[in-house]
Structure 1
Amino acid sequence: MKEIPEWSKVHSILFDFDGVFTDNKVNVSEEGVEHVTCSRADGLGIAMLKKFINLNHWDLRLAIVSTEENPVVRRRADKMGITCYNGVKNKFTFTSAILRNDKLPDFSGIIYLGNDLNDLSLFETDCYSVAPIDAHERIKATASMVINEKGGAGFVRAFVEKLLRIDQMSDVDLHRLL
């Protein structure tokens, strides 16, 4: 496992949606409407990260990059206040275009959270890649870090706590994030 980068060296944190914010399952109603379950703990993790970003004047991009075109992805992203790109067929090509268009240095300033084979192209770059414990075996083998939480069950929150080094924060600093 590679050491998690110092937060100030990161310019973007990108998330897959299914299997990261969800347990990778979908319920379909008789009308064909899809429903997924997300963890409130992960939502709090994103809120804490956003407060940390503001308090530290950190120029950080947060975005969901999903192959799914399900409107629930955008709704959840909107609720958390992060950018959402859905319907992305090739995550490597898409992310390369973002780097070029935004004049960002390279993949080494990206942290990417993913769980399945469609994330492999980003896991094989210089980005810092993070997988949940229930990710595909190939993803876990390639990841910079595997977190001992399942997707949709506190995985994002556990990552945020590691990135911000919550265990080393004073109670006062921690309360500023809540």
Structure 2
Amino acid sequence: MTYPDDWRDKARRVRLLALDVDGVLTDGTLHFQSDGQETKSFNILDGLGIKLLQQNGIAVALITGRESPMVSRRAEALGIVHIVQGREDKLVALNALCTQLELSLEAVAYCGDDLPDLAAIRAAGLGLSVNNAPDYVREYADWIPTRPGGQGAVREICDALLNCQGRWDTCLAPYLEGQG
């Protein structure tokens, strides 16, 4: 895999990947059942990518403007302990998380897809968006994966971070040996 040198340098410093949920971990579609229950679809590829990051010392956080028990359930299944829901002020939430984790923004990759994410994308050491985000959001990102949000974009980000940090071969080895 090849990445621009400046992007690679920023990716090497990342210790936290913070993600918006709707439009990044999902395709942004909201499903409501007749009883008012909300459902969301998450991509399994993204889930394994998140687990690989965590196994390699990169923390993952979710910062979302909506409150959803589905987000809590997915985060629990993936072992994500840093979850901020119901916050449109994504940069304020990200700064608080950085203070809690004793990280500088330079050590953070943030991926979002819409206007509430813009300040966090711009402030993070590595600002990311998804290719189905509006142009005026994507233009502020350092890098954009080829896959859309909810369809493997997060996995592409995870794989790229692991590759740039020289950890990809270690991640791949157990699967090549049938131990993954």
Question: 2 CA distance for matches of 1:62 and 1:101?
Answer: 14
Once the two structures are aligned, what percentage of the paired residues are identical?
A: 26
Contact persistence 2:112–2:129 (CA under 8 A): yes
- Within the candidate set 63, 66, 69, 2:64 is matched to 66
TM-score if structure 1 supplies the norm length? 0.85
Change (3 A) 1:137 1:174: same
For residues 69 and 167 of structure 2, what CA distance do their matches in structure 1 show? 38
The amino acid of 1:79's aligned partner reads A
1:109 pairs with one of 99, 107, 110: 107
Q: What does the per-residue CA deviation read over 1:44-81, in whole Å, with 9 as the maximum and x for residues that have no partner?
A: 11122223x1xxxx3x3311111110111111111111
Asked which structure has the greater RCO (Cα within 8 Å, sep 6+), the reply is 1
* Residue aligning to 1:86: 85
Q: Secondary structure at the match of 1:4?
A: helix
Report the TM-score, using the length of structure 2 for normalisation.
Answer: 0.84
Provide the C-alpha distance between the structure 1 equivalents of 2:131 and 2:63, rounded to a whole number of angstroms: 20
Runs of 4 or more, structure 1, over 4 Å off, are 166-170
**C-alpha displacement of 1:7:** 5.5
C-alpha distance 111-168 of structure 1, shift in aligned 2 (>3 A): closer
Relative to structure 1, is the Cα distance of residues 173 and 112 closer, same or farther in structure 2, using a 3 angstrom cutoff? closer
Q: Aligned to 2:40, which of 29, 32, 36?
A: 36
CA RMSD in angstroms, aligned pairs only: 2.3
Number of equivalences: 170
Quick one: structure 1 residues 44 and 28, their matched pair in 2 at CA, closer, same or farther if it must change by over 3 Å?
same
**Cα pair 1:4 1:128 within 8 Å, conserved:** no
What corresponds to 1:130 in structure 2? 128
